[in-house]
Amino acid sequence: MARTWTGADATALRRGLGLTIEAFARRVGVAARTVDHWAAHPQVVPRSGQQAALDRLLAAAPAGVRDQVAAPAGRPMRVAVAVVARAGMVLLVRRRDEGPIGWQFPAGVIKPGEDGGAVAVRETHAETGVHCTVAEHLGCRVHPVTAVVCDYFVCSYLAGRPVNRDPAENTSVAWAPIGKLTEFVGPTIYPPILTALEECRA
């Protein structure tokens, strides 16, 4: 049986993909004001053509995002974020979407019953080929752009050369100088990350 999308479902998909309103609108083929309307009116039902576009976008989404959109309403998406530091550098991935947060730390959706630290380590290797281990749990917050609940973990580098192992999601992987991190990630960075990385450099 085909699903019937609501504004709440469409908004959950957009947030799960980490897309801005404008980028999501381009993917679905609608105006940005339509996406904004869906967010403001969670019970609204998009038109049939829009339903089909949302179905296609969901089908191409990562499994974790598909699971989250199918989850009961009210359960927020949680992701584990890995902050991997090595010799004054920090590991970043560049997402394919055209939003303002293209450069990010490796991250993965935490499914019910999973340990956030284990997800951070697993997804770092899956995305970049880098092996790491959790050194510290920094805390969590609701991301100011995506509204996703983020659990942040400082991780110690173990081995591996950065390679883009997930080209469907990322365009590149790189070590970035800790001192220039805000130039990559921007002002929305979780402040304790900067403190922890400065301690790593000390």
pLDDT tens digits for range 13-59:
888 888 888 999 999 999 999 998 888 887 788 888 898 899 899 98
Q: How many CB atoms lie within 10 A of CB 137?
A: 14
Report residue 133 as tokens: 């281990």
pTM over 0.75: no
Residues in CB range of 168: below 8 A, 6 or more apart: 96
**Bigger pLDDT: 173 or 111?**
173
pLDDT above 80 (res 151): yes
pLDDT tens digits for range 91-103:
999 987 655 567 8
pLDDT band at 1 (very low <50, low <70, confident <90, very high): very low
Q: What is the mean pLDDT of the chain?
A: 86
- Amino acid at residue number 57: L
Would you state the torsion angle of the CA atoms of residues 73, 149, 101, 104, taken in this order, to the nearest 10 degrees? -130
Query: Hey, what domains does the chain have and what are their CATH numbers?
Result: 7-65 (1.10.260), 78-201 (3.90.79.10)
Check residue 180 and report its DSSP letter: G
